[in-house]
Chain A
């Protein structure tokens, strides 16, 4: 199967899952509407009537027809979400590049948020008290614009905008693998409960903020609308007390906001739930002519670097396969395949994993060169000599302090005296640039300084420090799974690999893990200052450290045979003997 057809097969499968998520989201709209109606039509003394009226309203023809626009908007929202999940994750070094690449997509998504918010408010106002139901009403025998209705429609738009700004504007959509993989029904119940309960609290702030805005600018909007529709102005919500004392309106606004927020949060969760389900992959490619052509192997899926979701799913599949404790399934990895009795499965998997590690580490090293604290820092800085008149205990203390400082990235207040001053050659021939060259250099420098002083230029067109490193760490989830899976395979190979297919690659695996660990250790002092990666760094570092430790402990006796003696072997032995 070619690379392109693998991508297509994976995308098709994911698209089907997205469709399932859309269908579920559409179904949830009616559940949310039912909850809203239960709140709005609440009757304490007539509970049966209350429930029957609510259910009859939900099942009425009006509801089915009136909800068509909202369902359409939800489908559009879902499609955009699907596109964002399946799109390639590109690194944009500057904010300008980010705007060029992501702005159209983000604007479209914002529009979808506004549309869903507006249509939800429009649909829900149809079930409210008569005063809130229509855009205009009869006042003093004249048509007036209803400020209540305007408030609620605006509330819907504001809620959609609020959710987009707080959740989607800066971050990319991510699938979240659950810590505990519950049954599907349990997951759904948990997501529903938590979303509905949390949104009731989370909607308080936007409701208050919008109410404040409406008090300040609501009159202007109503005035404009009354001009457009050539009707009279509604004066019921004029002034602070007009807005603040209308309890029913505030309650409707709060309820509407919580429904919209929970609706959008549920859509995000459903996508995450469907997309994070186990991907049907194969270890061995079936060569029989009649088998399905679209069977995708783990190795092929791991290689799809331009579809991040597929890479994550393939890595998770491999991790689950190895850790589930099913030796029979694992044995496929160590099998010799026909023709030629070669370990084709292991060979391809190992090459793919090592290439993933190698590429990631190389990119990480490149990106770390741009971090000023780490720039040019050698892997082990040369030790400055300690004066001979110091006592042994003082020297030991100094050495330990220096080691501690180096480990935690603490720099000395005074830079150490450079020996270069002493070693500088006295007679050195320098080329002196002529006046023309000097002037042009000065001009260039001043122009650069001048441009940099224009507000926004540096902000827009300069790469923020550590941005690439943060991007790499944020997208390191496949590596976290792969590295743990590979170490488990290596450890299991001691007992399960009958043909010894793994042992030839052990030195390379250990070296690549050790190299990555070294780079992550260097980064540890500045990781907390990087914007973006959050916990990704500690997750990756923990996974690498544990995996390397696992291999070193399992192959402790053979380490000297696997790695030629030297600094590398010494480092690995210290990993084990940390007593």
Chain B
């Protein structure tokens, strides 16, 4: 009941103030790089370059070529090579043998899929359903990540290339591209390091070291590459604050995997239930939120032997997005079924000494679509992404079907969180919608909170809050 009354108190969007976007000049933002990803996507320098074409081709026998392909690229590529036109011309019997093997494997795969339907190859459409980026398949920007300590912004584009931007705009943009890095779903800079970034993609995890030697163009492959044990795409990941553990989730796997990249070891967190889709580590690393592809979501207690609490959201949906408050005491999330912002509170009740640390999910904001201005453009509806500023003063919400960004004011006390609508941000044109948003970490105490917005046009905008 208390939750309902709380919901009623939340003012509707029609009460939002006028947009303050672009009204004043912020000098700090002058040093930020001006980025337009669409222009760079067509830039020839960012085209894929593979080492292979640079070498003079040599003549090699069919068998030798197939064996080489096997050792270089594995069984499936060598089978494809066996069935290629070139091989058929040189040794038709090998091509036929390849066909027979392929048919046999096809039958085996069909049988396997009939018995284990959940092991079906995960399509891009299915991945797009669960990632936080809007229109992930066609969006120019697929993910953005700010370095935790130095001014470095990584932007993953639709061309599977990650570009690293720094404050120094004269320097050439560092480009990370590799054949083992397609369909990028997530990225994360390693905490306590200025140079290491990990990219989650269809093939697994690509670890890069972005240092000065990259200008020479020699580092054209990841420093490390880890595949998911079941060869599945990585859909979400997060580092712990010390940068020694990396949690990953895949929409094809029930387990969350905790990696120790330095030692190359990993350990799965196993629970019965639907596969995982979204991971968010609390700022203090006390809790790990894990959303799934179904209505179930879990919160793991990282200090108490990784025990877990199981929660469910509305029927037929899943948690679309979630974020932790900077203090780590509150978790906000939204499901795909209803445009309601929920809050989960993690405060130690030391005064009342309750034996069971009971938590309660409370709805705190109604995000149903409503008219934003006199042009009757809408704001609200199903939520795409949440982002909370590092100072805990602003909460930013983007939507799946409307193009404005809603900004809420938040006030955090020890046992309570108050939220009120502030204003909204819009693109340069009405059709422009936010694909991805993220806040820049605070590098100094006096720094402003800066929101980085990747618009659907490929434009990257930085918006500084007071």
Contacts and interface: CB of A to CB of B under 8 A. Distances in A.
Interface string B175-202: 0000000000000000111110000000
A516 to B, nearest CB: 16
B327 interface: no
Given A178-B267, A180-B258, A546-B192, A577 B150 contact: yes
A549 B150 contact: no
Contact of A400 (B191, B194, B215, B263): B215
A578 B150 contact: yes
A157 B152 CA distance: 60
Contacts of A407: 213
Nearest to B150: A579
Interface stretch (B114-122, B132-140, B241-249): B241-249
Nearest to B149: A553
B260 A324 contact: no
Nearest to B148: A553
Contact of A179 (B150, B152, B265, B286): B265
Interface in A319-336: 323-325
Interface residues of B, number: 39
Contacts of B125: none
Interface stretch (A260-268, A348-356, A536-544): A536-544
18 contacts: A179-B267, A180-B267, A182-B306, A400-B215, A404-B213, A484-B242, A535-B262, A535-B265, A538-B262, A546-B191, A546-B242, A546-B243, A549-B194, A553-B149, A576-B194, A578-B195, A579-B152, A579-B167
Nearest to A539: B262
A149 interface: no
Contacts of A183: 305-307
B218 A404 contact: yes
B22 interface: no
Interface in A164-202: 178-183, 186, 190
Contacts of B264: 535
A5 interface: no
Given A182-B306, A183-B305, 5 more contacts: A179-B266, A181-B306, A578-B150, A578-B212, A579-B152
A449 B168 CA distance: 61
B284 interface: yes
Interface in B302-331: 303, 305-307
B218 to A, nearest CB: 7
B286 to A, nearest CB: 6
Nearest 7 interchain pairs by C-beta = A578-B194, A546-B192, A535-B263, A542-B262, A179-B267, A539-B262, A183-B305
A178 B258 CA distance: 11
B70 interface: no
Interface in B140-174: 149-152, 166-168
B216 A550 contact: no
B333 to A, nearest CB: 23
A197 to B, nearest CB: 14
B285 interface: yes
A325 B303 contact: yes
B263 A539 contact: yes
B245 A579 contact: no
A113 interface: no
A445 interface: no
Nearest to B191: A546
Contacts of A577: 150
Interface string B250-271: 0000000010101111110110
Q: How many A residues are at the interface, by size bracket?
A: 20 to 34
Contacts of B260: 179
A374 to B, nearest CB: 20
Given A324-B303, A325-B286, A407-B213, A546 B267 contact: no
A517 interface: no
A545 B192 CA distance: 8
Q: Give the dominant DSSP class at B's interface.
A: loop
Given A179-B258, A180-B258, A578-B211, A546 B167 contact: no
Given A182-B306, A579-B168, A545 B193 contact: yes
A549 B149 contact: yes
Contacts of B305: 181-183, 186
A579 B166 contact: yes
A488 B191 CA distance: 13
A325 B149 CA distance: 21
Contacts of B306: 180-183
Contacts of A180: 258, 267, 269, 306
B466 to A, nearest CB: 24
Nearest to A403: B213
Contacts of A178: 267
A401 interface: yes
Contacts of B245: 179
Nearest to A184: B305
A267 to B, nearest CB: 21
Contact of B284 (A182, A325, A400, A547): A325
Contacts of A542: 244, 262
Contacts of A576: 149-150, 194
Contacts of B213: 400, 403-404, 407
Contacts of B265: 179, 535
Contacts of B285: 323, 325
Contacts of B168: 579
Contacts of B215: 400
B255 to A, nearest CB: 11
Nearest to A181: B305
B257 to A, nearest CB: 10
Contacts of B269: 180
B253 to A, nearest CB: 16
Interface in A17-48: none
Contact of A546 (B193, B218, B286): B193
Contacts of A535: 262-265
Contacts of B262: 535, 538-539, 542-543
A400 B269 CA distance: 45
A549 B192 contact: yes
A546 B55 CA distance: 39
B244 A579 contact: no
A67 B168 CA distance: 74
Contacts of B150: 576-579
Nearest to B243: A546
Nearest to B194: A578
A179 B244 CA distance: 10
Contacts of A484: 242, 244
A178 B166 CA distance: 38
Interface string A541-579: 011011101100100000000000000000000011111
B55 to A, nearest CB: 20
A404 B219 CA distance: 11
Contact of A323 (B242, B258, B266): B242
Interface in B84-109: none
Interface in B325-354: none
A190 B263 CA distance: 21
Nearest to A400: B216
B263 A550 contact: no
Interface in A397-418: 400-401, 403-404, 407
Contacts of B270: 190
A465 to B, nearest CB: 24
A182 B307 CA distance: 8
A538 B223 CA distance: 12
Contacts of A575: 194
B217 to A, nearest CB: 11
A177 to B, nearest CB: 10
A549 B148 CA distance: 12
Contacts of A578: 150, 194-195, 211-212
A579 B213 CA distance: 12
Nearest to A397: B216
B216 A404 contact: yes
B329 to A, nearest CB: 12
A82 to B, nearest CB: 25
Nearest to B219: A404
